[in-house]
Amino acid sequence: MRRLRALVLILILALVGAACGDDPEETEGGQQPAVNESAELRVGFTDDQYVLEGPEANLSAYPLNTNVLETLTYLTPTYEVKPRLADRWEFRAPNTWRFHLHPGVRFHDGRPLNAQAVKEGLFERVAQRRGGGTIKAGPNSAVVVDDLTIDFTPTVPNVRVPEQIVHPQNAVIAPGADPGRNPIGTGPFRFVEYRPKERIVVERNPEYWGTRPSVARITFRFYADTNARLLALRAGDIDLAYQVPRDDVQALKNEGFTVLNSTVGAYRAMYATAHGAAPFDILQDINVRKAIALGVDRRKLVDGVLTGLATTDQTFVPPSSLGRHAGEVKGNPYDPARARQLLDQSGWRPGPDGIRVKDGRRLKLVLVSGFPSAEALRPTPVFLQSELRNLGIDVEIQERPDSASFQDLMEEKKGDLWIEEGNQNDANPGFLPTLLLYTGPGSAGSGVYQGVAAPGPRFDQLLEPSLTEVDLDTMQGQVAQALNEAITEQATLIPLAGIFRIYGMKKSVVGFQPHPSFLNISWLGVGVSA
Amino acid sequence: MAYVVRRLLLVIPTLLGVSFLAFALANLAPGDPAEQYLRRVLDRVPTPEEITEARHDLGLDRPLVVQFARWTLDAAQGELGTSYASRRPVADEVVERARYSLELAVPAGLLALLVALPVGTICALYRSRPTDQLVRVTALAGASMPSFWLGLLLILLFAVHLSLVPVAGRGGPGSFVLPVVTLALEPAALLSRFTRSTMLETLGEDYIRTARAKGLSRRLVVERHALRNALIPVITYFGTRLGHLVTSAVIVETIFVWPGIGKLTVDAIATRDFPMLQGVVVFAGLTFAIVNLLVDLSYAAIDPRIRLATESHR
Amino acid sequence: MNPSAPPTEVITAEAHVLVPEASRVASRPGLLRVMARDRTAMVGLVIVSTLSLAAVLAPLLSSHDPNAVDVARRFLPPSSEFPLGTDHLGRDVFARLLFGARVSISSALVATAGITAVGVLLGMVAGYLGGVVDTAISRVVDIMLALPTLLTALAVTAILGPGLDNVVVGIVIAAWPSYCRIVRGAVLAEREKDYVEAARAAGASSTRILRRHLLPNVVGPVVVMTTLELGITLLAISALSFLGLGVTPPTAEWGAMLSEGRTYLARASNMMLFPGAAIFLMVLGFNLLGDGLRDVLDPRTVHGAAWAAPRRRARRRRWHDVTGGDQALSPGQGRD
């Protein structure tokens, strides 16, 4: 029975995948046109956010990954972890991960990649960061076992190291190289030149240990402004653009461009303030929370505002990162009648202007928008305002320019609903639920999100075993159950849409694999047709 | 000489004031600077211990007076702290970006001058005739044009529809055209008006009237005497405009995604990178002070009456 | 254009020249009649009043709710039902433009009123009292003027957080000093005049002298400046709003509409063209009106006196002021 359900689920997922706009396979496959070996590819990225100084320095790697540096493992577009610089790895109780490195790999300066280099160029570098980075590295965490074997023991138990180490912040740089000025790695491309806020240029590494890169050179240009980036693509200034606005996809296709979208790599969701004080106490009432979850027409949001380039599944982490358990997060399907009924039940009755009233108080909620930025989320808040008005809920929108000011407000619990778009950049589906919503034993987050939207003890009980579960599939199941509690039962987390990454390019660009996480794009097979 | 010294000394209180404004900026901002800093660095919400540690590292646990004194002394040595966003020294970044702003400001200023001088002169000569009226209204329209709209109109026409130049970003020579034109419009409009009124006044001076009375041709009078005399204030005025162009190209650089000081300012605001914002404020104050100083000194050198007037007044 | 700061300077310059004539202004008869003959001023007046009227009558002129979202009718081109088309949420651009006029114009009025109030008050106090008070106010003014106005407004608004209220506060804080300096100059010029001396000798109180004698005489330049300032302020508000510091959605406001329109530049240029045109027209209206008013209020330019009368000192004085240099050459000194 269980196997059958899993099978059906896989089928459904496959269908959803196929229905998601363009098929990514379109430009791949056997009959690829001849590729120009000496071509230069020009790519338009978003803003330049490289850090050039200190232990977080990450030129060429994060957030724009130019494939100069490589990680031990990497993340596939379906959120699987695959070998890269490490051929295999194993967990050694109580708290050690052993990585077996790929033999024969050399840095761009000719030095060999060995356990000592990984120790210095990865683990000791990460250990200097505050808190030892996401993988929790300490000064003595890494131990060289032999030339190609290294043991890593995080400062606190961490069973998700292989899933987290895919993040380009954890890339291996040649020992002694300056990660903020001259990144020397093992990747398919070598660093050539960087001009802050303007561009970064890389060239083919002819001695790359894997397959030969298809293009000779890639120039990445920074366009902080989405519109400028798009217009640059149209004007022929660039061959490929990240983050194409949904509204322009159809027009671009009509103009002869290829537009590819990834699978779901981000979620757009609201947190409901379930633990607020007056005047932000209305959503303490689970009925009102559920009414909101039930009362938003996600189909209309996806088709109308997000131009069909999103999914309506009520997701918080990309479904594929939950593996076969994705379907276990049910969500609250659109049901405005039931929503109204719940509001009635709680004593919120329609007032003269259509807004509900209870004991002389208007049903007015403050919706705060600002993560990653208010601009990125527009115009979704206005759409939600209009949707909730139909239920008799008055919504005031407050925009915060960036995530820091957004979280400041959340820390003070000065808001009822909090809309965010968060990315999943590694293969650990438990990371965000644990960081943001978990309050049980071993909770390591700051408590800001928990302060407004912690779903409660049952959620904590469901999630707790996942913190120490080494087996990925079992862990995915535990996280899925916990998310179902937060989303479907408690509605402190109200997902709105699963977001794709959309890339636009000239027809001449071939072999590009749209990745749901920007950070893990591979430029190896991307070419320009001759 | 005394004037020069006095004028130089006057710069100091101004710069101190600017430094105070810049310091106050970050301290008036809501939220704990240490926490803001950590959120940028960690990309997550920091723990209380981390905040205490960072507060100490950043010197934020000291009295405000000490912090201000330290900030000012550091600023005087060109030490403006470290950007939250790029984690590079603010001073380095500001200087680097100022270069990009100058790349736009200098040609825009020259373009404005090239347009404004002949236009203003012609208007003055043909005062109250249709040409003058037309140019005056055009100049007013130019001064009323929101640069953010003009920039978008130019992009729509020349980059999107005609594909003649790149839409945005700093690239080849073509990428300079639209931002320079957009940036030049306002100073061109203002300079035309200024040239016109200065010319009108010069033409009213005794010696011009005398020259005319002596029978010199109108053209000769304008070219030999009037233009040259009117040019001094116009050029000086242009100097002050140049300071503006560098520091307040916020809008133009945003629209054309130009990596100059203006863009840096907007980015610093969007990411609440307060050290960077402070740096920009100090830089703007310094630029203004220097430009004004040069303008005043050069003007005093040209016209000794100013020097005398100052000295007798004090 | 970089709103606010630049024009202020020129105005500073020219309004200064007005000062010596200011005493005549108040007694000039038939201001409106003279103005009616000035074509530019009339055009400006017509533009300003038409747009203001449209703002007032917004609900009558459009049958659509400016905030009614309907994703089924996004990006419609202009039609009889939607004269200026619809935007990315299917809202009527015409209705939003009309209701946006209310927000844009009224916030410009409020900000300008604030600037004028603070600037005139402090300027008069500084100019009349002199001494320590004058030095203190003038120093603050100097420091504030050492920074580009837009940058100050931007920084203050950034600290206060986004929102139209904060934009208005930021602009008032950034723009009062140049006003203050001009009013102070005008007061200094008047203060030395015989009739003020006479009033003082007759035992009139400071407040009385300020209110009865000095205020009426700075009204002329202030009226011109305020009219021009309205345009500058509108531009500044739109600019800050364009940069995302202004109104919160879904409020319609011209700068914010333009900012939204920028995102859909190629797709739906109607979203960008109309709000931009509205800002441009309104600012042009204020500038034409202010320019015309100046012509009317400044006898030299009306009667062609500039060609005849030597104005050497006036020029020097004005000149120095433009450079933002020290206050040594007060307007009072250079009086003819």
State the best of B49, B167, B252, B253 to mutate against chain A, taking most chain A CBs within 10 Å.
Answer: B167
CB atoms inside a 10 Å sphere around CB C335: 15
Residues in B closer than 8 angstroms to C287, CB to CB, are 140, 143-144
State the best of C4, C319, C323 to mutate against chain B, taking most chain B CBs within 10 Å.
Answer: C323
| Cβ-defined contact of B169 to A402 (cutoff 8 Å) | no
| Cβ-defined contact of B152 to C262 (cutoff 8 Å) | yes
Q: What is the pLDDT of residues A315-374, one digit of tens each?
A: 889 888 998 999 999 999 999 999 999 999 999 999 999 999 999 999 999 999 988 878
Nearest CA-CA partner of A488 in A340, A290, A198: A290
Give the confidence band of C305 by pLDDT, cuts at 50, 70, 90. very low
Average pLDDT over residues B36-59: 72
- pLDDT surpassing 60 at residue A144: yes
Instruction: Tell me how many degrees the CA angle B266-A182-A229 measures, rounded to the nearest 5.
Output: 40
| Cβ-defined contact of B160 to A231 (cutoff 8 Å) | yes
| Cβ-defined contact of C244 to A401 (cutoff 8 Å) | yes
Specify the pLDDT at position C240: 92
| Cβ-defined contact of A305 to C71 (cutoff 8 Å) | yes
Q: What residues have CB less than 8 Å from B258, skipping those under 6 apart?
A: B100, B101, B104, B168, B169, B170, B179, B249, B252
Specify the pLDDT at position B248: 60
Specify the pLDDT at position A16: 44
| Cβ-defined contact of A56 to B93 (cutoff 8 Å) | no
Specify the pLDDT at position C310: 31
| Cis, peptide link before residue A336, omega less than 30° from 0 | no
- pLDDT surpassing 70 at residue A516: yes
Specify the pLDDT at position A19: 41
- pLDDT surpassing 50 at residue A29: no
Burial of B282 from C-beta contacts in 10 A (0-12 / 13-18 / 19+)? buried
State the best of C65, C69, C75 to mutate against chain A, taking most chain A CBs within 10 Å.
Answer: C69
Average pLDDT over residues A27-44: 74
Q: What is the pLDDT of residues C138-186, one digit of tens each?
A: 888 888 887 888 888 888 888 887 789 999 999 999 999 988 988 888 8
| Cβ-defined contact of C307 to B200 (cutoff 8 Å) | yes
Specify the pLDDT at position C16: 34
Amino acid at A467: L
Average pLDDT over residues A51-61: 88
| Cβ-defined contact of A223 to B256 (cutoff 8 Å) | no
| Cβ-defined contact of B25 to C155 (cutoff 8 Å) | yes
B273 vs A: CB within 8 A: no
Asked whether C96 and C252 are in contact (CB, 8 A), the reply is yes
Q: What is the pLDDT of residues B101-118, one digit of tens each?
A: 888 888 998 899 899 888
Q: Higher model confidence: residue B217 or residue A41?
A: A41
Average pLDDT over residues C64-91: 91
Sequence-ordered alpha helix ranges (H) in chain C:
5-18, 22-25, 31-37, 39-56, 58-61, 93-129, 131-145, 149-160, 164-191, 194-201, 206-208, 215-242, 254-263, 270-297, 299-303, 305-308, 312-322
Q: What residues have CB less than 8 Å from B53, skipping those under 6 apart?
A: none
Specify the pLDDT at position B243: 66
Give the confidence band of B43 by pLDDT, cuts at 50, 70, 90. low
Instruction: In whole angstroms, give the CA distance from residue A456 to residue A458.
Output: 6
DSSP state, residue C71: G
Residues in B closer than 8 angstroms to A194, CB to CB, are none
| Cβ-defined contact of C324 to B206 (cutoff 8 Å) | no
Specify the pLDDT at position C32: 62
Residue for token digits 């300077």?
C9
Q: Name the E strands within A275-409.
A: 310-311, 349-350, 356-358, 361-362, 364-371, 394-399
Q: Tally the C-alpha atoms within 13 A of residue A82's C-alpha that lie toward its C-beta.
A: 9
Residues in B closer than 8 angstroms to C277, CB to CB, are 149
Residues in C closer than 8 angstroms to A247, CB to CB, are 75, 88, 263-264, 267
Residues in B closer than 8 angstroms to A231, CB to CB, are 155, 159-160, 167-168
Any idea which of B259-273, C124-138, C190-204 has the lowest mean pLDDT?
C190-204
- pLDDT surpassing 80 at residue A152: yes
C269 vs A: CB within 8 A: no
Specify the pLDDT at position C3: 38
Residues in B closer than 8 angstroms to C3, CB to CB, are 146-147, 251
Handedness of CA C287, C292, C297, C301 (dihedral sign): positive
Strand, helix or coil for residue C85: coil
State the best of C267, C269, C272 to mutate against chain A, taking most chain A CBs within 10 Å.
Answer: C267
Any idea which of A269-283, B264-278, C44-58, C292-306 has the lowest mean pLDDT?
C292-306
Any idea which of A184-193, B286-295, C105-114 has the lowest mean pLDDT?
B286-295
Most confident of the following: A392-401, A481-490, B75-84: A481-490
A182 vs B: CB within 8 A: no
C264 vs A: CB within 8 A: yes
- pLDDT surpassing 70 at residue A459: yes
C196-199 long-range Cβ contacts below 8 angstroms, 24+ apart? none
- pLDDT surpassing 60 at residue C8: no
- Residues 237-266 of chain A with CB under 8 A from chain B are 237
What mean pLDDT, rounded, does chain B reach? 79
Instruction: In whole angstroms, give the CA distance from residue A286 to residue A288.
Output: 5
Q: What is the pLDDT of residues A185-198, one digit of tens each?
A: 999 999 999 988 78
Chain C nearest-CA distance from A399, in A, is 6
Residues in C closer than 8 angstroms to A383, CB to CB, are 69, 71, 89
Polymer length in residues for chain B: 314
Q: Which pTM value belongs to this model?
A: 0.80
Which chains form contacts with chain C, at 3 or more CB pairs under 8 Å? A, B
| Cβ-defined contact of A397 to C264 (cutoff 8 Å) | no
Residue in B with minimal Cα distance to A59: B86
State the best of A237, A398, A411, A412 to mutate against chain B, taking most chain B CBs within 10 Å.
Answer: A237
Q: What residues have CB less than 8 Å from A224, skipping those under 6 apart?
A: A46, A47, A48, A197, B257, B263, B267
Average pLDDT over residues A72-94: 93
Indicate the residue of A227, A245, A382 with minimum beta-carbon distance to C250.
A382
- pLDDT surpassing 50 at residue A115: yes
| Cβ-defined contact of A404 to B38 (cutoff 8 Å) | no
Residue in C with minimal Cα distance to A399: C248
- pLDDT surpassing 90 at residue A66: yes
Residues in A closer than 8 angstroms to B40, CB to CB, are 404
Percentage of residues in chain A having pLDDT higher than 70:
93
Q: Higher model confidence: residue A231 or residue C28?
A: A231
- Count contacts between A and B (CB, < 8 Å): 100
Instruction: In whole angstroms, give the CA distance from residue C251 to residue B276.
Output: 31
